[in-house]
């Protein structure tokens, strides 16, 4: 009898997720049998839901807000990148009943960057210092980025996260600035929004960067990356594109993190799945 690969996304909320559609496409391409369901899971239900799915023979789960950090702690083994980032978005249920934790967000981000941006960018600006910023910084280590300007809001949470982010990659030069007091930066190569500002459910007209900040950027090759994929074009991306800059939203990152997770669960080679980035 052929294997059945039942998979799930645990988080709260999960109703809006595009992951079931993406994994359905992987099942179609590979002819593997299985399914991917979204299971609304509040914090106190996480360990129990993971246990039930393991007992039911599921091959693994994705974790989303607010479970990426807790999920890491529930695993028996973790990859070095998941440990470094301090969060897991993928748990693999192994045959010996142990759980392996991986973070594929950083891979999704890294492999979604255009190759010229990866090779030619040295100075990056990162907006926000939360979980996804950690995955982004981990990924940037694999590029030629040597300097990061981190923009955060004036909260103790952001300040603490910024210090932890600096410690993540001590060989990258970091400077931290408050959104309330932005420096004049003219020579950035890559600007990445990891805050939720502009996403569906927030004020869609809002951008984390004021328009006048963009007017000072002299590098016409500066690349704008918004981790948000809904809406597909945030105000941050729209204002950048209006000024002739290139950029992308978070869909390719989402697609690729899903692809790497699917390959971990099924043993399929990454190269054998068609890359269908938009
Ligand atoms: P998170 O851990 O909550 O981090 C969000 C960061 O943004 C924190 O530093 C937070 O600051 C800051 N922030 C929130 N609201 C802000 C505001 N109004 N002004 C300034 N800073 C603000 O969230 P996350 O998991 O990193 O996710 C962030 C975004 O990335 C979400 O839109 C999510 O959908 C997207 N994302 C996309 C992908 C993908 O595959 N494309 C993957 C992961 C995440 P405080 O610490 O002060 O609260």
4-104+253-272 CATH: 3.40.50.10860
Give the domain ranges of the chain.
4-104+253-272, 107-250
Q: How confident is the model at residue 118 (pLDDT cuts 50, 70, 90)?
A: very high
Q: How confident is the model at residue 275 (pLDDT cuts 50, 70, 90)?
A: low
* CB 226 near ligand 1, within 6 Å: no
Q: How confident is the model at residue 5 (pLDDT cuts 50, 70, 90)?
A: very high
| Cα 64 to averaged position of ligand 1 atoms, centre (Å) | 12
* CB 12 near ligand 1, within 6 Å: no
pLDDT at 1 over 90: no
Do the domains 4-104+253-272 and 107-250 sit in the same CATH topology, yes or no?
A: yes
The pLDDT value recorded for residue 200 is 82
* CB 86 near ligand 1, within 6 Å: no
Q: Average the pLDDT over 74-103 and give the result.
A: 97
Please tell me the residue having the least CA distance from ligand 1 atom 5.
130
pLDDT at 19 over 90: yes
| Cα 179 to averaged position of ligand 1 atoms, centre (Å) | 14
* CB 258 near ligand 1, within 6 Å: no
The pLDDT value recorded for residue 277 is 55
| Cα 29 to averaged position of ligand 1 atoms, centre (Å) | 32
Percent of the chain past pLDDT 70, that is, above it, reads 98
CA of 129, closest atom in ligand 1: 9
The pLDDT value recorded for residue 2 is 84
Please tell me the residue having the least CA distance from ligand 1 atom 18.
197
Query: Given this structure, which CATH class describes domain 107-250?
Result: alpha beta
Does the annotation count 68 as an active-site position?
Answer: yes
Cα–Cα distance measured from residue 41 to residue 61, given in angstroms and rounded to the nearest whole number: 12
Q: Could you tell me the two tokens for 31?
A: 């002819």
Please tell me the residue having the least CA distance from ligand 1 atom 46.
158
Please tell me the residue having the least CA distance from ligand 1 atom 7.
195
């Amino acid at each position: 009898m052929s294997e059945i690969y039942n998979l799930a996304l645990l988080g709260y909320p999960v109703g809006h997720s595009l992951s079931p559609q993406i994994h359905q496409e992987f099942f179609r391409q590979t002819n593997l049998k299985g399914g991917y369901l979204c299971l609304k899971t509040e914090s106190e239900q996480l360990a129990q839901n993971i246990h039930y799915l393991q007992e039911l023979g599921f091959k693994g789960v994705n974790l989303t807000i607010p479970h990426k950090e807790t999920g890491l702690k529930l695993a028996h083994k973790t990859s070095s990148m998941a440990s470094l980032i301090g969060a897991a978005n993928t748990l693999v249920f192994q045959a010996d009943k142990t759980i392996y934790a991986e973070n594929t967000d950083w891979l999704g981000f890294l492999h979604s960057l255009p190759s010229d941006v990866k090779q030619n960018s040295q100075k990056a600006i990162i907006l926000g210092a939360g979980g996804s910023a950690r995955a982004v910084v981990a990924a940037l280590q694999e590029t030629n980025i040597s300097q990061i300007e981190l923009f955060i809001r004036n909260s103790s949470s952001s300040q603490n996260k910024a210090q932890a982010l600096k410690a993540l990659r001590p060989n990258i030069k970091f400077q931290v600035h408050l959104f309330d007091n932005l420096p004049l930066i003219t020579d950035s190569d890559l600007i990445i929004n990891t805050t939720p500002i502009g996403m569906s459910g927030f004020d869609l007209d809002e951008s984390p960067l004021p328009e006048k900040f963009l007017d000072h950027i002299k590098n016409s090759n500066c690349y704008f990356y918004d981790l948000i994929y809904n809406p597909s074009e945030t105000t941050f991306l729209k204002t950048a594109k209006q000024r002739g800059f290139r950029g992308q939203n978070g869909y390719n990152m989402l697609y690729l993190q899903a692809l790497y997770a699917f390959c971990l669960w099924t043993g399929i080679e990454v190269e054998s799945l068609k890359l269908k980035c938009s």
